[in-house]
Amino acid sequence: MYLELPNKLKGLQMMSANLAKEMFRPISRKYDLAEHEYPKELDMIANMLDGMNDGEQGGVAGATQSSKAKKPDNGEVKNGSNMASLIGIQELCWGDTGLLLSMPRQGLGNAAIAAVANEEQLERFKGKWAAMAITEPDAGSDSASIRTTAKKDGDYYVLNGEKIFITSGARADLIVVWASVDPSLGRAAIKSFAVEVGTPGLELARLEHKLGIKASDTAAYILDNCRVHKSNLLGDPEVKVEKGFAGVMETFDNTRPLVAGMAVGVAKASLEKTKELLKDCLKDNYTTPVNNLSAVEAGIYKMEAEWEAARLLTLKAAWMADNAQPNSKEASMAKAKAGRMCNDITLKCVELCSGLGYSETELIEKWARDSKILDIFEGTQQIQQLIVARRLLGKSSAELR
């Protein structure tokens, strides 16, 4: 048992931290103010990362690289691609979450493709930037109730519906769209389709104006008789009612710890800056009982403890994935804990830093806006609690809704 980062990941960590510091931080405020403007600086960074990722076992910013490991044959413990991706993402989000989410070719859609596409599709979509479109105006948390349809017409599917909140939707090359091939068959009929931007019938409706992560664009699309070739259906075209929803949802076991990692990174940024600003008030060195300290110092230590707990839970979830252990419950635990921890800490830091924390001179107020989304997307706080509760109590989704 040992819960420290191994040396072999420390290099990656340092590299990501440097990138975050030298490339993200300097333009962090700029794109917070210039919402919807494309952060062109990212192209260069992305090219650089592509080169690095080719040679590495885990990517720096790659949701793409995280996946279920095969069981190691020799029983040896692994610190693999899930942990590597997590570390990279965490450090980059210390720099800027919005920019991380805008990294070309590192979208959630890429993760989905990596998880379910066949060989031919993997080859064809290689190097493409893929966004993910599940959410609809009337279906968010309840993603099984989406209404977008995909009707078979010869060699094509005809897609109709409305998708909202698509991260990088206006910047990506293609969008992975969830649609039902037969609404009468329920959730098992939901399939994902790679729809290339520019396909007739795929119309950009708008970009959202948001509370935070403004560097990341969030698009809404209308699908109006959008014809997609059947070879763009990802995974198995058959509707297997007995298999249900599990397949598509599995992707989330891998991506939830990554979003938790984002939260760990943002909270770290905020706490670190706050400690720096308050350094004259912090005299103790983790020795005096917390109730004998000043309120500020006690508060800082308590936040640090919360942060460590979330960080370790997140590492645990990734470690389990790397070692082929089922981690659905732990992934949700990590996401729930990290999401609320990050929101609590970033808000408290604004409070502790008073006017300085609240003003745009520092990034502390920005982190406290950015943090909110991390407790919402990839499953809200409540949805994570629901998943954990069902697992612990042994309840079905019909019993515990």
Q: Which residues are catalytic?
A: 378
Residue number with CB closer to other proteins (5 or 278): 5
Which of the ranges 73-81, 100-108, 223-231, 271-279 carries the binding residues for other proteins, by CB under 8 A?
73-81
Residue number with CB closer to other proteins (82 or 192): 82
- Contact partners, residue 64, CB within 8 Å, separation at least 6: 105, 106, 110, 111, 113, 114
Which of the ranges 21-29, 75-83, 113-121, 195-203 carries the binding residues for other proteins, by CB under 8 A?
75-83
Which of the ranges 142-150, 168-176, 330-338, 350-358 carries the binding residues for other proteins, by CB under 8 A?
330-338
Integer angstrom CA distances of residue 143 from 13, 162, 200: 34, 13, 25
Q: Is 264 in the site for other proteins (CB under 8 A)?
A: no
Q: Which one of other proteins, ligand FAD, none is in contact with 292 (Cβ closer than 5 to 8 A by kind)?
A: other proteins
Q: Which long-range contacts (CB under 8 A, 24 or more apart) does 8-12 make?
A: 8/79, 9/79, 9/83, 9/84, 9/87, 12/56, 12/58, 12/60, 12/84, 12/87, 12/88
Q: Is 301 in the site for other proteins (CB under 8 A)?
A: yes
What is the smallest separation between the CB atom of 170 and other proteins, expressed in angstroms? 36
Per the CB < 8 A criterion, the answer to whether 335 and 175 are in contact is no
What is the smallest separation between the CB atom of 136 and ligand FAD, expressed in angstroms? 8
Nearest to 360 by CA among 350, 371, 346: 350
CA atoms within 13 A on the CB side of 272: 11
Residue number with CB closer to ligand FAD (108 or 262): 108
Which of 65, 66, 79, 255 is the binder for other proteins (CB under 8 A)? 79
What is the smallest separation between the CB atom of 240 and ligand FAD, expressed in angstroms? 23
Give the Cβ contact number of residue 387 at 10 Å: 24
Q: Is the dihedral of CA 308, 332, 75, 9 positive or negative?
A: negative
Phi, psi of 47 (to 5 degrees): -60, -40
Placement of tokens 């691609």 in the chain: 81
**Amino acid letter at 242?**
E
Phi, psi of 335 (to 5 degrees): -65, -45
Q: Is 310 in the site for other proteins (CB under 8 A)?
A: yes
Residue number with CB closer to other proteins (136 or 375): 375
Which of 56, 162, 306, 375 is the binder for other proteins (CB under 8 A)? 306
In the complex, which residues of this chain contact ligand FAD (CB under 6 A)? 108, 131-135, 140-141, 165-167, 210, 218, 373, 376-377, 380, 382-383, 386, 401
Q: Is 204 in the site for other proteins (CB under 8 A)?
A: no
**DSSP symbols for 226-246:** EEEEGGGEES--S--TTTTTH
Contact positions vs other proteins (CB under 8 A):
1-7, 77-79, 83, 285-292, 301-302, 304-306, 308-310, 312-313, 315-316, 319, 330, 333, 336-337, 382, 385-386, 388-390, 392-395, 399-400
